[in-house]
């Protein structure tokens, strides 16, 4: 598959995530959109990893492990995302406990 | 058009469509479900790229664990209705336009990059297999791996700090 | 050794003064300190004339290309002397004024003195900048804590204003540094730079604005009357007597020789500005009803003349400026002392509310009239030789085509100076007493002593100015030579 | 020569003794000096470097030659007399004020001596300003009256205007010659170096300086006001000595002036105009001292006329004779005022001639002298001037003669109104009327004698072989210009003409004012009474606009433009701060939006705008 | 390496001591002792004594720059703990956990100071960020704290997304995460992927150091977070991000300077402008300090712009001077009853020593000579000046510095020149002495910066 396809697909997903962050006001959904962005990155990394692998193969290195690092990076991203989710949801829940809402528009005690 | 290509297009369309549905669904629960659909599509891509390990982890961790957690929280908060009132339309519009512009700009910037001729190897290569990744992870990447434990520890402590009732 | 002591004595005594809570003790301490400074300064001027005494250098910030380098040269001698003379005078004159938390007051005063000493002695641009600011900060606190009603806003304006100026100077310093051949802040390497005329002009303005604000030169002067009005008089004396000289000093040491071409190119503009300022300030002074503001505007006019004379770029003007810096310092302190006495007695500085003081306070009237006349540069008072030389320098300047016009217009201001000074004397000291002024008491002995010393200085220097001129002779020759760009033209 | 200032700690007698004694000492020294220089010597005493910068060297040096010795004599001599006179005139003052008076007076003498003895222009300038200062101090001597103080200020400021011109002239000299000492400036080598244009400018500037000090158009208005000071001061400073400093200066620089015909003409015309203007004003003044003041201005005009005509020695001669008779007149007027208990308005006097005889007679002598009736001193000096003018231009002569007639007219008007007719003063004044004490009358008498015979030193050759000693004496200093080109017959005729006309005028005045009654003047008289409205004119075109300008600067320009700009920057910062912080709305959505928008912009900039 | 491992271990230790030790004082003492140990080990490592020798496969390198910075950060943290550890009690019940989180953050700081791989950078940033989200929200009953936490979390995650996208793009172009390999040779035209990735990384890092226009979270979060943690976030953490920033751009994109220099200049100017201007109108000192931290970030950005030896030295000096001063001010601020400017009215009369030290800190922040702040700013300006023809940037910076005087001096004015009647505050003797020590350090840095900077070389 041409790498450009993956790039565009990922970028599209990434931007959809951004649009979600911009347009929604439910904190949980915003957070989900961020996860979507991370997944777009993951996809891109995997695609690149395979691209580099292919490049190395074509260069004649049959036993190459080029591109492994990309996939491992994805693994770490997932790890971090998991940790982030636990903390993030805890914060959202705490917020909800206090003001019974997860609407970010209500987050305006702090301004100016 | 080979089967791989068909699959690629199919998965791409699914991923994009469900991603769009995530951000447009009124009901948060639907959003979660659409997001899970997206993750599945992405996992499909991983499989297509012969990155089985990540595909599995993606489904288990993301779709399985994380999204369930989301769903759980949403349910806990009783947000499974269309609770969200209409957001300021101008802001929505502005958000969509800004995001669109960003997409446009990124695509325009990247479309002529020097690697546009290159291909991602589909359906082949063994680097995505658990054996290879594991070997690499526990040799070269052992330090980051250990470090991520600190991350988890802090996340754990954090969850305790935040969650514990006073 | 001498310059180091000149800085260290006020600095250390100042720091110690913070901890002497007893008012009497702190006064004596400060008097002791300033007396010591004065005697060291005099020693440096008379006995310890060899280079090894007048120079001090040690490593400091060498990675930055800067060192702790201080030296007493001609102009430095004079200004340090002024600084050293001013303090005992001020202390004497304000011996009866009480300040709450006086230890802090005097400590800050001494710190300011240390800062000013440093400015006059520094031979390294960065060090110069350090001291420049060090002098400013204590002033800020002095004026803000012990000043008049509107002190906070006014002092703050003063502070910000001068701070902006000094920051611009900092840019200038950095600019020269980055273009200096040896990447050093040493003044010698500053004197050696070769930069294009455009760059010179840039640097010129960066420096000039800083100095112009400090002096102050029209139209950068608006902080000054307000600050003088609001500051406690002892501080005002330091400000106007010594601190404004920092700007003039800076022009001579750090601007003219460093960027001679730009100084030449902009000389006419600056001189015009200075002269407009002189007339402008004099006209305003005529209209003033507040004694402090009147003196403040008069100071602007006088400083304007110094600025104009500097840009005449000849030795007459230069030496005139140098001795005038000293003399103006002495005279204006004298004026302030009287203003302080008046304000302390009557609680007002309004000229319109005063009158007839000479009837009951003849000594005060006499001393004041002498100082005021010295301020007018009457012959045989100290200001005359200075003004004479400055006007002569201005008139005989080779670097401008308009010297005659400059002199003529600058001359108008000396007429106007007569107008406002005499009017002030007339309205304050002459005429009939009113209810307020009927309670006047003559000067106390300490005030009389301070004024007496000033008057003696006025006459001594007025009759034999050559003593001071000799001090600055070589230095001014060197500066004029450095600033002279005519050889450059001849070369091409 | 330099007097210690008699300070106010002494008793009154002590002060008088110290004051008079030092002047007497000076006088004696002056005579000694006079004898020393009689045979054409010039002494230059160089004390120390006053200012020495680069190539410019100004030393504190004195030069005594014939010209300065004449002035020395006048200054110390008349000064001494006036000191003596003052001891009783001022005796009603409080001790400290009495001391102050004498210290000022001595300071004045000191400055005046400095002025005439200085060996260069700078020292002259020092004295020049010094006398201005003393004049200021003495005019404002009675400092309780703001009117007087204003007059003092006016005097000082007007002098300063002249001083500025003088100062610029000095700079010009330094610029061209690099020196200010007389001997060097007037050396023929240096004079030859100067271009004609430079000479004209320098001399004009010097003359402008002289107009300030010597009360010529346009800077004369301070002198009449200066009569606010004590009368002896008026006599000494504002009649006999200080005001003649301008003449001294020009006479001193005669070599320079002679090289510029333009300046000479200007000097002559200004002098003549001043003489006429002041004389016309004097016709209608009612203050006894004001009349004398305008008369002084007028006489100074004559002196300048002489200088302008090139008759320097005649000018200096007139300075001397004028010093005698004008000091006399003033002192006599002082005596009158003293007698009338401070009354100065001649309309309230009259018939005093019988009561205070000595004063009357001395006043009369003064009047005759000033009117120029032979053989009184004024005749010779004035005649010398008129003759010189005639040589220069007969039309000018006519005008000058007319001025001389006016002089005679107003002086005798003054005399008759004051001393003849009946007394118009109050009863109390009539009671109080008495002759002054001897310490006042003796100087009067001495001066009267001098006024009578003083002219003889300059008696023209016409009358006496070997006459005109005066010019001869000054010859080393003043190059003789006025080679007589008129025949003796013409000279006689001119003398006779002027004398005759003067006598006719006096007789006319006698009929006019023998029995003076007060009446309103009208029309032109009003203009004269108000001094041609010159003061008002100055007020309108110079003082008021300057005040307005200052007001404008102070109230509007300073506050709203300059300070406004500075504060405006602060306000701008404050305003933008208030606006900018609204950006921080607290809305996460907005934050992200702004971030994304700026990202887009930066991307666009990076990829599509930059090459 | 010493620091990395020990800080992680200390974090764990604190977690457990929270269970074992019930006394808060004991906990505090353990934490402080641990901090001292950490600092000492780090200094030992600078002297060449390394306890743990682990092959990081080139992903990290503990060079002098990194070690010196970690030393600065640890020393600052030690002082911070000495001054403010007691005040953490007021925040909530999880006293031990706060210390644990702080140690974890320090672990992250060690990573960001010494990374050579984008992966380590990413992990380091996350290890710093996640505990911060928690600390921000640790005052659970306080809605402001909640809000700040959530905002910080959402925006922080968003910026992490950007960072990851950037890393992915860079990886795509180059196939490696090692920073040194990203631009090892000069190319006529760098790949669009690298440039785009670099921009995204730039945005993300700008976000972390709160540079405009990615600064929006800063005022709200700093304001909402418990003051004691704001102090930590605004100083040591921000400094760490800056070190990461400059390290990344030096190693990875140093050769592309022409590509990003203008952008950095724009960001710098915007940051200086927004930070300084907006701070002028604030009514709360805490919020003013938040804006001031943005403004200071603008100055630190100058080092990124110039990217030469002076810039790096200067940045270290800047982080030290800025951290010390800000920690000091916050330590005093925590004690105040009223965070508004008026709350400081008459403070000098009530607490002359505290007022004097606060004044020194404020002067340092304003960049007045003889304080560390001045030399730090001076280094920055000098770096820019000798990096080429960028006078305009220096002039902008200077004018903004002048504006900064305005708001810093408002505090001084309130303390010294205004009368106030706020109830007196209690401070311990130790607190005072630590504050004096801090002030002395600030001045020492202002007079002899070489005491610090010589460590870079000797």
Cα of E133 to nearest chain B Cα, Å = 8
Cα of A38 to nearest chain D Cα, Å = 17
- Nearest CB to A31; choose among E141, E149, E154: E154
The dihedral sign for the CA sequence D318, D321, D325, D328: positive
- Nearest CB to E146; choose among A3, A51, A94: A94
Cβ <8 Å between A109 and E144:
yes
Identify the pLDDT of residue D8.
38
| Residues of chain D under the 70 pLDDT cut | 1-16, 39-40, 461-468, 479-486, 515-523, 611
Q: Do chains A and E touch (3 or more CB pairs under 8 A)?
A: yes
Identify the pLDDT of residue D480.
59
Cβ <8 Å between E147 and A87:
no
**Residues of chain B contacting residue A26, judged by C-beta atoms under 8 Å apart:** 28, 79, 83-84
- Say how far apart CA C2 and CA C253 lie, in whole Å: 20
Cβ <8 Å between A23 and B87:
yes
What does pTM read for this prediction?
0.90
Cβ <8 Å between D600 and B98:
yes
Q: Domain range holding E250?
A: 2-456
> Is residue A2 less than 8 Å (CB to CB) from chain B?
yes
Measure CA E284 to chain center: 21
- Nearest CA to A24 out of B21, E216, B37 is that of B21
D56-64 vs D43-53, strand pairing mode: antiparallel
- The answer, yes or no, to whether residue E24 has pLDDT greater than 60, is yes
Burial-class residue D422 by CB neighbours within 10 Å (0-12, 13-18, 19+): exposed
Identify the pLDDT of residue B84.
56
- Nearest CA to C387 out of C448, C450, C304 is that of C304
Cα of D43 to nearest chain C Cα, Å = 22
Cβ <8 Å between D589 and A22:
yes
Q: Mapped to the 3 state alphabet, what secondary structure does chain B carry?
A: CCHHHHHHHHHHHHHHHHHHHHHHCCCHHHHHHHHHHHHHHHHHHHHHCCCHHHHHHHHHHHHHHHHHHHHHHHHHCCCCCCCCCCCCHHHHHHHHHHHHHHHHHHHHHHCCCCCCCCECCCCCCCCCCHHHHHHHHHHCCHHHHHHHHHHHHHHHHHHHHHHCCC
Neighbours of chain A (3+ CB pairs under 8 A): B, D, E
Cβ <8 Å between E216 and D594:
yes
Closest D-chain CA to A22 = D589
The count of structural domains within chain E is 1
Q: What domains can you pick out in chain A, each with its CATH number?
A: 3-103 (1.10.287.3510)
Mean pLDDT, chain C, integer: 87
Mean pLDDT, chain E, integer: 91
Cβ <8 Å between C171 and E418:
no
pLDDT digits (tens, 9 = 90+) for C245-264: 999 999 988 888 888 888 88
- Say how far apart CA C234 and CA C146 lie, in whole Å: 10
Cα of D601 to nearest chain A Cα, Å = 16
**Residues of chain B contacting residue D597, judged by C-beta atoms under 8 Å apart:** 98
Cβ <8 Å between A65 and B50:
no
Contact (CB, 8 A) for D115 and D63? no
Residue E117: what are its φ and ψ, rounded to 5°?
Answer: -130, 145
Cβ <8 Å between D588 and A18:
no
Cβ <8 Å between B91 and D608:
no
Tell which of E143, E161, E284 to mutate to test the A interface (max A CBs under 10 Å). Answer: E161
Identify the pLDDT of residue C486.
67
> Is residue E219 less than 8 Å (CB to CB) from chain D?
yes
pLDDT digits (tens, 9 = 90+) for B26-82: 888 899 999 999 999 999 999 999 899 999 999 998 888 899 899 989 888 887 665
pLDDT digits (tens, 9 = 90+) for E331-388: 999 998 888 998 899 888 888 899 999 999 999 999 988 899 999 999 999 999 888 8
Helices E192-208, B89-110: axis angle to 10 degrees equals: 140
Instruction: Please tell me the CATH code under which domain B1-82+119-125 is placed.
Output: 1.20.120.1200
- The answer, yes or no, to whether residue E271 has pLDDT greater than 50, is yes
What are the structure tokens assigned to D263, written together? Answer: 């300046």
Burial-class residue B88 by CB neighbours within 10 Å (0-12, 13-18, 19+): middle
Identify the pLDDT of residue D10.
47
**Residues of chain E contacting residue A107, judged by C-beta atoms under 8 Å apart:** 147, 150-151
pLDDT digits (tens, 9 = 90+) for C182-198: 888 888 888 888 888 88
Cβ <8 Å between E126 and A27:
no
- Nearest CB to D600; choose among B87, B95, B102: B102
Cβ <8 Å between B95 and D590:
no
Identify the pLDDT of residue D452.
84
> Is residue B102 less than 8 Å (CB to CB) from chain D?
yes
Tell which of E59, E157, E158, E169 to mutate to test the A interface (max A CBs under 10 Å). Answer: E157
Identify the pLDDT of residue D462.
65
- Nearest CA to E236 out of E370, E94, E112 is that of E112
Cα of D582 to nearest chain A Cα, Å = 6
> Is residue B22 less than 8 Å (CB to CB) from chain A?
yes
Cβ <8 Å between B116 and A4:
yes
- Nearest CB to B155; choose among A23, A49, A83: A83
User: What is the average per-residue pLDDT within C99-105?
Assistant: 86
- Nearest CB to E192; choose among B109, B150, B162: B109
> Is residue A25 less than 8 Å (CB to CB) from chain B?
yes
Separation of first and last alpha carbons in chain A: 50
Closest B-chain CA to E199 = B106
Cα of E426 to nearest chain B Cα, Å = 27
Cβ <8 Å between A66 and E175:
yes
Span of C165-174, D550-559, E182-191, E425-434 with lowest mean pLDDT: E182-191
User: What is the average per-residue pLDDT within A80-107?
Assistant: 89
Cβ <8 Å between D602 and E266:
yes
Contact (CB, 8 A) for D592 and A30? no
Contact (CB, 8 A) for C301 and C413? yes
DSSP H or E stretch at residue C69: strand C67-71
- The answer, yes or no, to whether residue A39 has pLDDT greater than 50, is yes
**Residues of chain A contacting residue D584, judged by C-beta atoms under 8 Å apart:** 111-112
Question: If you ran DSSP here, which 8-state letter would residue D228 be given?
Answer: G
- Nearest CB to E394; choose among C64, C156, C174: C174
Identify the pLDDT of residue E186.
61
Question: If you ran DSSP here, which 8-state letter would residue D44 be given?
Answer: E
Tell me the domain boundaries of chain B.
1-82+119-125, 129-166
Span of A88-92, B82-86, C368-372, E121-125 with lowest mean pLDDT: B82-86
Q: What percent of chain D has pLDDT over 70?
A: 92
> Is residue D54 less than 8 Å (CB to CB) from chain A?
no
> Is residue B77 less than 8 Å (CB to CB) from chain D?
no
At residue C264's C-alpha, the angle toward residues C250 and C162, to 5°, is 30
> Is residue B6 less than 8 Å (CB to CB) from chain A?
no
Closest E-chain CA to A109 = E144
């Amino acid at each position: 598959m041409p790498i450009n396809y993956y790039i565009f697909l990922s970028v599209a997903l990434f931007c959809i995530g951004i649009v979600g962050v911009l347009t929604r006001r439910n904190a949980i959904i915003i957070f989900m959109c961020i996860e979507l962005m991370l997944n777009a990155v993951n996809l891109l990394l995997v695609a690149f990893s395979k691209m580099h692998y292919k490049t190395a193969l074509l260069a004649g290195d049959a036993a190459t492990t080029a591109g492994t690092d990309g996939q491992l990076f994805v693994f770490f991203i997932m790890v971090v995302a998991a940790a982030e989710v636990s903390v993030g949801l805890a914060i959202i829940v705490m917020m909800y406990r206090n003001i019974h809402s997860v609407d970010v528009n209500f987050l305006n005690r702090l301004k100016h | 058009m080979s089967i791989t290509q068909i699959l690629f297009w199919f998965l791409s369309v699914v991923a994009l469509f469900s991603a769009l549905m995530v951000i447009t669904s009124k009901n948060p629960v639907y959003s979660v479900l659409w997001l899970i659909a997206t993750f599945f599509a992405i996992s499909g891509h991983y499989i297509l790229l012969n990155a089985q390990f990540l595909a599995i982890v993606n489904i288990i961790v993301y779709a399985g664990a994380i999204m369930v957690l989301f769903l759980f929280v949403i349910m806990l908060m009783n947000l499974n209705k269309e609770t969200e009132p209409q957001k300021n339309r101008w802001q929505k519009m502005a958000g969509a336009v800004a995001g669109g512009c960003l997409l446009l700009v990124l695509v325009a910037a990247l479309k002529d990059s020097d690697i546009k001729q290159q291909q991602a190897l589909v359906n082949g290569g063994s680097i995505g297999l658990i054996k290879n990744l594991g070997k690499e992870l526990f040799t070269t990447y052992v330090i980051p791996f250990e470090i991520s434990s600190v991350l988890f520890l802090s996340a754990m402590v954090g969850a305790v700090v935040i969650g514990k009732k006073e | 050794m001498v310059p180091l002591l000149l800085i260290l004595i006020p600095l250390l005594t100042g720091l110690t003064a913070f901890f002497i809570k007893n008012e009497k003790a702190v006064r004596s301490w400060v008097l002791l300190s300033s007396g010591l400074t004065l005697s060291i300064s005099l020693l440096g001027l008379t006995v310890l004339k060899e280079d090894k005494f007048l120079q001090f250098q040690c490593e400091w910030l060498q990675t930055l290309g800067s060192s702790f380098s201080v030296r007493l040269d001609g102009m430095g001698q004079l200004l340090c002397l002024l600084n050293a003379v001013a303090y005992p005078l001020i202390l004497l004159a304000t011996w009866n004024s009480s300040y709450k938390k006086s230890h802090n007051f005097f400590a800050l005063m001494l710190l300011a003195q240390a800062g000013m000493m440093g400015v006059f002695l520094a031979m390294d641009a960065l060090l110069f900048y350090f001291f420049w600011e060090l002098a400013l900060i204590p002033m800020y606190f002095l004026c803000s804590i012990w000043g008049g009603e509107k002190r906070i806003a006014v002092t703050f304006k003063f502070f910000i204003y001068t701070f902006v100026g000094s920051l611009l100077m900092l840019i200038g310093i950095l600019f020269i540094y980055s273009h200096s051949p040896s990447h050093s802040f040493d003044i010698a390497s500053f004197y050696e730079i070769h930069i294009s005329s455009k760059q010179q002009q840039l640097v010129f303005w960066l420096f000039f604005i800083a100095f112009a604000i400090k002096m102050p030169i029209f139209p950068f002067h608006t902080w000054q009357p307000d600050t003088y009005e609001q500051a406690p008089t002892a501080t005002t004396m330091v400000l106007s007597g010594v601190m404004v000289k920092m700007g003039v000093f800076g022009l001579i040491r750090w601007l003219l020789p460093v960027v001679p071409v730009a100084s030449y190119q902009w000389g006419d503009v600056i001189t015009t500005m200075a002269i407009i300022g002189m007339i402008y300030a004099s006209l305003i002074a005529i209209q003033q009803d507040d004694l402090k503001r009147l003196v403040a505007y008069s100071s602007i006019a006088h400083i304007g003349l110094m600025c104009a004379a500097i840009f005449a770029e000849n030795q007459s003007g230069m030496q005139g400026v140098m001795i005038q810096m000293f003399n103006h310092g002495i005279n204006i302190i004298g004026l302030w002392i009287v203003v302080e006495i008046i304000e302390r007695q009557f609680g007002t500085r309004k000229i319109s509310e005063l009158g007839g003081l000479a009837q009951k306070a003849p000594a005060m009237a006499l001393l004041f009239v002498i100082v005021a006349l010295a301020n007018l540069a009457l012959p045989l008072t100290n200001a005359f030789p200075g003004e004479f030389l400055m006007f002569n320098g201005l008139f005989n300047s080779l670097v401008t085509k308009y010297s005659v016009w400059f002199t003529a217009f600058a001359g108008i201001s000396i007429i106007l100076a007569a107008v406002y000074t005499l009017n002030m004397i007339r309205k304050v000291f002459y005429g009939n007493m009113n209810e307020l002024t009927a309670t006047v008491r003559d000067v106390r002995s300490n005030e009389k002593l301070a004024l007496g010393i000033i008057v003696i200085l006025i006459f001594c220097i007025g009759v034999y100015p050559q003593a001071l001129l000799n001090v600055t002779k070589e230095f001014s020759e060197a500066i004029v030579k450095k600033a002279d760009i005519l050889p450059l033209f001849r070369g091409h | 020569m330099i007097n210690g200032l008699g300070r106010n700690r002494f008793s009154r007698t002590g002060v008088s003794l110290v004051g008079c004694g030092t002047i007497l000492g000076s006088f004696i020294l002056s005579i000694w000096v006079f004898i020393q220089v009689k045979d054409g010597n010039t002494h230059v005493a160089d004390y120390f470097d006053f200012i020495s910068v680069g190539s410019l060297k100004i030393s504190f040096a004195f030069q005594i030659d014939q010209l300065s010795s004449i002035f020395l004599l006048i200054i110390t001599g008349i000064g001494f007399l006036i000191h003596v006179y003052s001891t009783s005139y001022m005796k009603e003052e409080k001790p400290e004020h009495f001391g102050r008076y004498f210290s000022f007076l001595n300071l004045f003498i000191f400055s005046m001596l400095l002025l005439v003895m200085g060996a260069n222009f700078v020292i002259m300038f020092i004295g020049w300003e010094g006398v201005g200062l003393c004049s200021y101090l003495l005019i404002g001597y009675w400092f309780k009256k703001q009117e007087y103080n204003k007059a003092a200020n006016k005097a000082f400021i007007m002098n300063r205007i002249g001083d500025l011109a003088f100062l610029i002239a000095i700079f010009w000299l330094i610029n061209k010659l690099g020196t200010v000492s007389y001997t060097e400036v007037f050396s023929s080598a240096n004079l030859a170096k100067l271009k004609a244009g430079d000479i004209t400018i320098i001399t004009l500037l010097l003359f402008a300086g002289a107009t300030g000090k010597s009360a010529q158009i346009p800077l004369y208005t301070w002198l009449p006001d200066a009569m606010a000071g004590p009368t002896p001061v008026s006599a000494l400073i504002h009649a006999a000595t200080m005001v003649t400093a301008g003449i001294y200066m020009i006479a001193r620089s005669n070599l320079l002036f002679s090289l510029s015909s333009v300046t000479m003409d200007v000097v002559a015309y200004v002098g003549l105009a001043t003489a006429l203007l002041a004389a016309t004003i004097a016709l209608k003044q009612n203050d006894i001292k004001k009349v004398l003041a305008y008369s002084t201005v007028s006489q100074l005009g004559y002196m300048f006329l002489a200088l302008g005509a090139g008759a320097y020695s005649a000018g200096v001669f007139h300075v001397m004779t004028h010093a005698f008779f004008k000091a006399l007149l003033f002192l006599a007027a002082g005596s009158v005022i003293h007698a009338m208990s401070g009354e100065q308005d001649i309309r309230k006097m009259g018939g005093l001639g019988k009561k205070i005889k000595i004063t009357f007679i001395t006043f009369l002598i003064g009047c005759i002298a000033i009117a120029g009736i032979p053989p009184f001193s004024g005749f010779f000096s004035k005649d010398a001037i008129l003759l010189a003018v005639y040589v220069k231009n007969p039309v000018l002569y006519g005008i000058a003669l007319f001025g001389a007639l006016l002089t005679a007219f107003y002086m005798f008007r003054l005399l008759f109104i004051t001393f003849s007719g009946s007394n118009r003063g109050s009863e109390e004044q009539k009671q109080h009327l008495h002759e002054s004490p001897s310490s006042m009358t003796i100087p009067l008498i001495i001066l009267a004698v001098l006024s009578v015979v003083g002219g003889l030193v300059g008696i023209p050759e016409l009358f006496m072989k070997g006459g005109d000693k005066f010019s001869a004496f000054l010859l080393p200093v003043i190059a003789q210009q006025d080679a007589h080109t008129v025949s003796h017959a013409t000279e006689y005729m001119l003398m006779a003409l002027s004398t005759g006309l003067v006598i006719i005028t006096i007789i006319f005045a006698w009929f006019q004012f023998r029995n003076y009654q007060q009446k309103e003047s009208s029309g032109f008289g009003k203009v004269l009474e108000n001094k041609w409205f010159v003061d008002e004119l100055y007020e309108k075109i110079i003082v008021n606009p300057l005040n307005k300008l200052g007001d404008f600067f102070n109230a509007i320009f300073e506050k709203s433009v300059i300070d406004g700009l500075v504060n405006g920057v602060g306000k701008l910062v404050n305003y933008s701060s208030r606006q900018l912080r609204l950006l921080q709305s607290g809305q996460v959505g907005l934050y992200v939006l702004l971030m994304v928008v700026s990202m887009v912009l930066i991307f666009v900039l990076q990829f599509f705008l930059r090459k | 390496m010493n620091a990395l491992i020990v800080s992680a271990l200390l974090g764990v230790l604190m977690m457990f001591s929270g269970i074992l030790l019930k006394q808060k004082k004991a906990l505090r003492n353990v934490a402080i002792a641990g901090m001292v140990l950490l600092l000492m080990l780090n200094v030992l490592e600078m002297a060449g004594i390394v306890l743990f020798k682990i092959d990081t496969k080139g992903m990290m390198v503990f060079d002098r720059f990194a070690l010196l910075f970690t030393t600065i950060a640890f020393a600052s943290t030690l002082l911070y703990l000495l001054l403010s550890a007691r005040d953490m009690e007021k925040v909530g019940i999880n006293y031990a956990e706060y210390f644990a989180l702080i140690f974890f953050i320090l672990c992250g700081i060690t990573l960001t100071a010494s990374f050579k791989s984008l992966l380590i950078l990413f992990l380091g940033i996350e290890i710093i960020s996640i505990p911060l989200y928690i600390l921000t929200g640790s005052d659970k009953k306080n809605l402001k704290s909640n809000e700040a936490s959530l905002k910080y979390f959402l925006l922080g995650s968003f910026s992490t997304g950007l960072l990851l996208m950037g890393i992915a793009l860079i990886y795509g172009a180059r196939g490696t995460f090692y920073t040194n390999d990203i631009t090892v040779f000069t190319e006529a035209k760098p790949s669009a992927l690298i440039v785009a990735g670099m921009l995204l990384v730039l945005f993300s890092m700008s976000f972390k150091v709160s540079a405009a226009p990615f600064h929006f979270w800063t005022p709200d979060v700093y304001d909402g977070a418990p003051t004691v943690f704001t102090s930590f976030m605004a100083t040591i953490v921000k400094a760490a991000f800056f070190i990461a920033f400059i390290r990344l751009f030096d190693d990875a994109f140093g050769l592309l300077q022409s590509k990003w220099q203008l952008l950095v200049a724009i960001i710098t100017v915007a940051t200086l402008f927004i930070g300084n201007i907006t701070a002028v109108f604030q009514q709360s000192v805490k919020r003013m300090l938040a804006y001031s931290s943005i403004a200071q970030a603008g100055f630190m950005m100058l080092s990124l712009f110039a990217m030469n030896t002076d810039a790096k030295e200067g940045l270290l000096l800047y982080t030290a001077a800025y951290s010390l001063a800000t920690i000091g001010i916050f330590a005093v601020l925590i004690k105040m009853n009223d965070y508004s400017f008026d709350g400081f009215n008459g403070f000098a009369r009530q607490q002359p020593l505290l007022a004097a030290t606060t004044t020194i800190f404020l002067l340092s922040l304003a960049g007045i000579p003889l304080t560390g702040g001045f030399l730090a700013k001076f280094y920055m300006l000098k770096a820019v000046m000798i990096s080429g023809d960028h006078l305009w940037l220096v002039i902008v910076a200077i004018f903004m510095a002048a504006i900064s005087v305005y708001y810093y001096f408002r505090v001084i004015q309130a303390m010294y020149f205004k009368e106030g009647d706020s109830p007196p505050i209690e401070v311990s003797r130790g607190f005072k002495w630590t504050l004096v020590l801090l002030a002395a350090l600030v001045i020492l840095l202002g007079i002899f910066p070489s005491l610090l900077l010589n460590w870079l070389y000797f």
